[in-house]
Amino acid sequence: MDTVASPPQVEGALPDDTQAQLVGAVERAMASTGSAGAIAGVRVPWAGEWTQAFGTNPDGGAVAVDDSFKAGPVTRAMTCDVLYGLAADGVVELDDPVTTWIVGFPATPVVTLEQLCDSTSGLGSYQPRLQARWEANPSRPWAPHELLAYGLAASAPTGAGSYVGSDAGYVLLGMALERASGRTAADLFGRYVFEPLEMAGSSLPGRTADLGLHGTQSVLTPEGAVDCATAVDLTSLSPTAGFTASGAVTTVSDLGRYARALATGLRPYDGEERFASPLPVDPGAPTWYTVDGGAYQAGTLVGQYGSVPGYQTVAFADRDTGLTVVAVLNNSRASAEAVRVLGWQLAAIASKAAAAAGETAPPSGLPWTPEQMDGDLASVATCPLP
């Protein structure tokens, strides 16, 4: 499949004052989550770029900007990419019942491939049921049907049509796309996600992955409090525990390229219909915060975020300007809302970056400010903030 070109980008670094604000935001998020390491990258088409690694790995080695890490739930958007790519190639239809491809799955209510991508089937999640087992034996490999069984045990599909985040749904979608195409999920990710975007540092690995940024999780005291000074290394958690829900491995530069493509529709199968029927993330969410097509929409931003044991990851880009923010924190004890807040704060800071010579900055249209995100971070912090 042919590669695609990225949106125009001013060469050079972002202004010093913008960089200082970005660094401060990342360091505050690290403190709030107990993360000893992090990597972040920002691209502002009219102003420049910034990428920086922070802190150290558990072995004392410095984190590097090109270190690989687990993409976590950003994998879900990639699985939807494969669905839309296969649909464009005539291999599947979006409204195919999953039972067309998966034998033994309940026939009623009817669950379609598109519902699995949109996470509107009502199928439950397996991570809460397996978290303790992953922590006790992280290198143990998992078969997709095992993960699906735990998701079905949590909640059978209801066909309700409302959004309920389901890792098991994306595992099931990956299984169905394998059956429909006769290719492995790793091959499909290569064809429809990594190769067109020249994401040479990304993959959907098997039982193990060699990761540059080590993932950790703060331990709990006997009283149940978070011990922010002590963390266990969970880097060895098998990628098979995530499969097509959270198993991809990537780098900050690759993930930035991916977020821009997702938001701005660079590939032939990136159609507006994918995000044309947005649903509220939850009943109390602002009207500008919705979800559809395996991705969140926050104002003009499109992207994904979340956590897997060891990592919290966020990737968003602006559909109008191509402004892109990516970050990973290497401690998963805190709520994944912490990394979402970090991503949105980076975007708010970057959106106000002064234009380079000969460029014009577009109006800043995000419905939040960096200061508001500071308050939101404090509300989800598990460790003391400076």
Domains and CATH numbers, the chain: 16-380 (3.40.710.10)
Burial of 104 (0-12, 13-18, 19+ CB in 10 A): exposed
Residue 2 pLDDT more than 90?
no
Pairing of strands 69-70, 37-44: unpaired
Tokens linked to 220 = 């709990």
Start-to-end CA distance of the chain, whole Å, equals: 49
Residue of 329, 331, 313, 310 lying closest to 131 (CA atoms): 310
Percent of the chain with pLDDT over 70: 99
pLDDT digits (tens, 9 = 90+) for 331-351: 999 999 999 999 999 999 999
How distant, in Å, are the alpha carbons of 41, 53, 85, 349 from that of 26? 10, 10, 35, 12
Percent of the chain with pLDDT over 90: 90
Alpha helices in the chain (DSSP H): 16-33, 74-88, 113-118, 127-136, 144-154, 167-181, 185-189, 243-246, 252-264, 337-351, 370-380
Say what the pLDDT of residue 164 is: 93
Question: What distance in Å separates the CA atoms of residue 306 and residue 77, rounded to the nearest whole number?
Answer: 12
Question: What distance in Å separates the CA atoms of residue 333 and residue 281, rounded to the nearest whole number?
Answer: 22
Tokens linked to 354 = 């002064």
Say what the pLDDT of residue 306 is: 98
Question: What distance in Å separates the CA atoms of residue 287 and residue 298, rounded to the nearest whole number?
Answer: 9
Lowest mean pLDDT among 19-28, 69-78, 155-164, 298-307: 155-164
Say what the pLDDT of residue 365 is: 82
How distant, in Å, are the alpha carbons of 101, 247, 337 from that of 128? 27, 16, 17
Host H or E run for residue 228: strand 226-233
Residue 158 pLDDT more than 90?
no
Residue 1 pLDDT more than 70?
no
Say what the pLDDT of residue 96 is: 97
Q: What is the mean pLDDT of residues 68-97?
A: 98
* C-beta neighbour count of 384 within 10 angstroms: 9
Average pLDDT in the chain = 95
Lowest mean pLDDT among 121-130, 158-167, 238-247: 158-167
Say what the pLDDT of residue 190 is: 98
Say what the pLDDT of residue 275 is: 94
pLDDT digits (tens, 9 = 90+) for 310-325: 999 999 999 999 999 9
Residue 92 pLDDT more than 90?
yes
Q: Could you give phi then psi for residue 304, rounded to 5 degrees?
A: -145, 160
pLDDT digits (tens, 9 = 90+) for 10-67: 999 999 999 999 999 999 999 999 999 999 999 999 999 999 999 999 999 999 999 9
Give the DSSP letter string of 120-142: -S----SHHHHHHHHHHSTT---
Q: What is the mean pLDDT of residues 162-176?
A: 96
Q: DSSP 3-state assignment of 298?
A: strand
Q: DSSP 3-state assignment of 29?
A: helix
